[in-house]
Amino acid sequence: MAMLFAFPAFSQQKDIKLPPEATEFWEPVVRQITPGEENHKAPSDAIVIFDGTSLDGFVSASDGSSPAGWKLENGVMTVTPRTGDIQTKEKFGDMQLHIEWSAPTEIKGEGQGRGNSGIFLMSHYEVQVLDSYESRTYSNGQAASIYKQTPPLVNAMKKPGEWNTYDIYFTAPRFNADGMVVAPARVTVVHNGVLVQNNVEIKGPTEYIGIPNYKAHEDELPIKLQDHGDLVKFRNIWVRKL
């Protein structure tokens, strides 16, 4: 039996002849910004949350209005234990977040008891802050993990007292009119210049105990920093809305 082969798609492709201009577009014009003089410095379209001069960009997370109770000294913000979490006055959804932090030089405890804090994107989704330098804990709870969900690809920690940098690229979850999640949150984290979370799906709000489950919330919410009782320091915090 003779076998016949047809290649219509190939034939059609071969016959199409387009000029280069047919696949070019000139509008909209890409918006121009001025980058920071160095990569850690805020570009011209960033919202500077903390530049070392005041805590005015934050309030207490307990009531959303009282002044942030953490210590400000020499351009650095330090957790004041038992004063509670703080959160940004401004709300954010999709964003690029730059934040620098340092674990205490006085080492107390191990694992989760050592230099513990956290960055809660939209007040719900935690990127862990922890002194994981030569200190073992559960992998999905160490520094740069999506807490209790996804461990970092590598441990890129610096020594206690040295400054760590997180560059976080976050896509907020989407909900339909009935409150069902139709697109989960996703996050990419670069820790000290090293990719440690690569467009990872966030399974839901951070839970210490139990399985995370999404609940509908506002399109934009504050960024929260955690008081876990350790003297973690922060500096140079800025955000670009995406």
**Measured between alpha carbons, how far is 171 from 96 in angstroms, rounded to an integer?**
9
Strand boundaries in the chain, DSSP class E: 47-50, 58-60, 71-73, 76-78, 86-88, 95-102, 117-121, 125-129, 163-171, 174-175, 181-183, 186-191, 194-201, 224-225, 233-241
User: How many Å is the maximal CA-CA distance in the chain?
Assistant: 87
Q: What is the pLDDT of residue 67?
A: 97
pLDDT digits (tens, 9 = 90+) for 87-102: 999 999 999 999 999 9
Q: How many CA atoms lie within 13 A of 94 on its CB side?
A: 5
| Residuewise pLDDT in 10s, the chain (242 residues) | 555 555 555 555 567 889 999 988 899 999 999 999 999 999 999 999 999 999 999 999 999 999 999 999 999 999 999 999 999 999 999 999 999 999 999 888 889 999 999 999 999 999 999 999 999 999 999 999 999 999 999 999 999 999 999 999 999 999 999 999 999 999 999 999 999 999 999 999 999 999 999 999 999 999 999 999 999 999 999 999 99
What residues contact residue 29 under an 8 Å CB cut-off, 6+ apart? none
For the beta carbon of residue 23, count every other beta carbon within 10 angstroms.
Answer: 7
